[in-house]
Amino acid sequence: MDFAIVNGLLKRAPGKGLVHAPFALTPAPITPRDNHRIEELTAPFNRLVLALSRDIGFLGEVLAGVAESDGFTRDLLAMAAAREALQPLRLFLTRGDYFLQAGGAGEPPLIRQVELNTISAGYAGLAGRVNLLHRQLFAGTPQAEELIHNDPIGPISRGVSRAFGHYGHPEGCLLMIVQPGDGNIFDQRMLEIALREEGIEVERMTLEELAERGRLREGHLTVGGRIAAIVYFRAAYTPDDFTSPDTFRARGMIENSSAVSIPDIATQLAGTKKIQQLLAEAGTLEKFCLPPDAALLRSTFAGIYSMEEPIQGPEGSLPAWRAAMARPGEFVMKPQREGGGNNLFDDELRAALAGSSAEERRPFILMERIAPVTHTALLVKEGVAEETLCVSEIGRFGLLLAHGGEELLNVDAGYLVRTKPRELREGGITAGYGFLNNLCTASAQP
């Protein structure tokens, strides 16, 4: 517990004050080959997001149906369409999330993408700290050799610093847009401190505060007279963050400024579940990627369906939503939301679909439920350790800097492992289900 606290593995919990973030004491095993295969996906997925985010016509067209039933998507689309293009520089901080699923006999596991986060991809800071924790705990033992090193904040802050240099106002700052009272504040502070070390001033504020203090001056977003060169979002991915018309105005002000936004709205929309589902349709992914990338990325797709499309199952051909009602345990129903806790499983899924209209179903997609490989782990929460049969979701951080369509930087920046008891359906740390963890090469399984 002392090591966890010394390393900053902390969060604020409502009513409890400062507590340690849940973590595992035993890393998740992976073969070096599978680890490499997952890492290799980051750059092509970033490239795909760049292509998508540059095609607002496509995003608008394919999200129009969802927007009819979902006000948040509608508002985002309207803001993206109204954007005055002032800034050819783009900076993405993404995180692709994956599970390993058992392959056939004698075959390596399948890599299955859960989703690609293009906004507020968190835990880069705490992931580095849980790595430090395990390095300290295992020092001098064979396990130390097998732990896979991880420090995402390093490459991320260096990449952000490069973008800051390209923007060309060294007196400017990075503006971090946060939720009021976010418990995961230390993860954000770790990036903030690393950026200061790079010579970048950081201002934190909520959308509400920006509405009060922000101004547009000659195309630049300014706070207290200082130019915001980069705006980094750790909020604004959920309608709950838009508490007033002022907050929408603040978001629009960012979008219509010269600030480099991580992300701009088009990039945010490129990461929606609906786009993920459409990319899985025959030929769509291939419009946005070169053939080798397309084949590689497609190999990670689980089944993912629009509600009404016919799918084949033991019942014959049924619209996907009817197949999901018949076999709810085999699907996950997802709305166009980020941040965890929004998906529907099992009985909730069935209850939501029973008696639903096509219009009510439209904002959702259905995804095949992935059955990840399991491992045992020692999980620590509120100071108590418990050995549990678990699954681990592996996230890969990616950083992309582009000028127009030209990539200036496109790199993998390290990983996040969230280990959770096998029977839990959702996996978020913030939502309270996941435990921060590391990867170790398979032979190091304790």
Q: How far is the CB of 184 from ligand ADP (least distance, A)?
A: 14
What letters, b where the CB count within 10 A reaches 16 and e where it falls short, cover 78-101?
ebbeeeeeebebbbbbbbbbbbbe
C-alpha distances in angstroms, 105 versus 102, 110, 442?
Answer: 9, 12, 18
Strands in 365-368's sheet, in edge-to-edge order, are 304-306, 365-368, 331-334
Q: Taking CB under 6 A as the rule, does residue 241 contact ligand ADP?
A: no
Report which DSSP code applies to 147. Answer: B
Q: Is the peptide bond before 263 cis (omega within 30 degrees of 0)?
A: yes
Q: Cα 251 to the chain's mean position, in Å? A: 20
Sequence-distant (≥ 6) Cβ neighbours of residue 250 within 8 angstroms: 207, 208, 210, 211, 214
Stretch that binds ligand ADP, among 20-28, 47-55, 310-318, 331-339 (CB under 6 A): 331-339
Kindly tell me which of 172 and 339 has the beta carbon lying closer to ligand ADP.
Answer: 339
DSSP 336-362: S--SSS--B-HHHHHHHHTT--HHHHT
Task: Give the count of residues interacting with ligand ADP (CB under 6 A).
Answer: 19
DSSP states of 166-182: HHT-TT-EEEEE--TT-
Q: CB-wise, 97 or 192, nearer to ligand ADP?
A: 97
Q: What x/- string results for residues 102 through 141 when contact with ligand ADP is judged by CB under 6 A?
A: ------------xx--------------------------
Q: Which is nearer to ligand ADP, 111 or 402 (CB)?
A: 111
User: Among residues 323 and 332, whose Cβ is nearest to ligand ADP?
Assistant: 332
Q: Does 200 bind ligand ADP (CB under 6 A)?
A: no
> Looking at beta carbons only, is 302 or 409 nearer to ligand ADP?
302
By CB under 6 A, residue 367 contacts ligand ADP: yes
Tokens of 38: 């997952």
Q: What are the structure tokens assigned to 266, written together?
A: 């088009």
- CA atoms within 13 A of residue 186's CA, in its CB half-sphere: 19
- Give the nearer residue to ligand ADP in terms of CB position, either 154 or 421: 421
Segment contacting ligand ADP by CB under 6 A, of 36-44, 292-300, 366-374, 403-411: 366-374
Q: Provide the pairing of β-strand 439-441 with 28-30.
A: parallel
Least distance (Å) between residue 198 CB and ligand ADP: 29
Among the listed ranges 196-204, 254-262, 401-409, 423-431, the one in contact with ligand ADP (CB under 6 A) is 423-431
Q: Compute the least distance from the CB of residue 391 to ligand ADP, in Å.
A: 8
Q: Is 22 in the site for ligand ADP (CB under 6 A)?
A: no
Q: Interface with ligand ADP includes 375 (CB under 6 A)?
A: no
Ranges within 382-401 binding ligand ADP (CB under 6 A): 393
Contacts with ligand ADP in 282-321 (CB under 6 A)? 302
Is residue 70 within the footprint of ligand ADP (CB under 6 A)?
no
Sign for the pseudo-dihedral over CA of 135, 140, 144, 149:
positive
Residue 390 and residue 87 in contact, taking contact as beta carbons nearer than 8 Å: no
For ligand ADP, the closer of residues 335 and 414 by Cβ is 335
Cβ distance to ligand ADP smaller for residue 120 or 222: 120
From residue 216, how far is each of 164, 168, 354, 379 by CA, in Å? 19, 18, 48, 48
**Residue numbers at the binding site for ligand ADP (CB under 6 A):** 97, 114-115, 302, 332, 334, 338-340, 342-343, 367-370, 393, 426-428
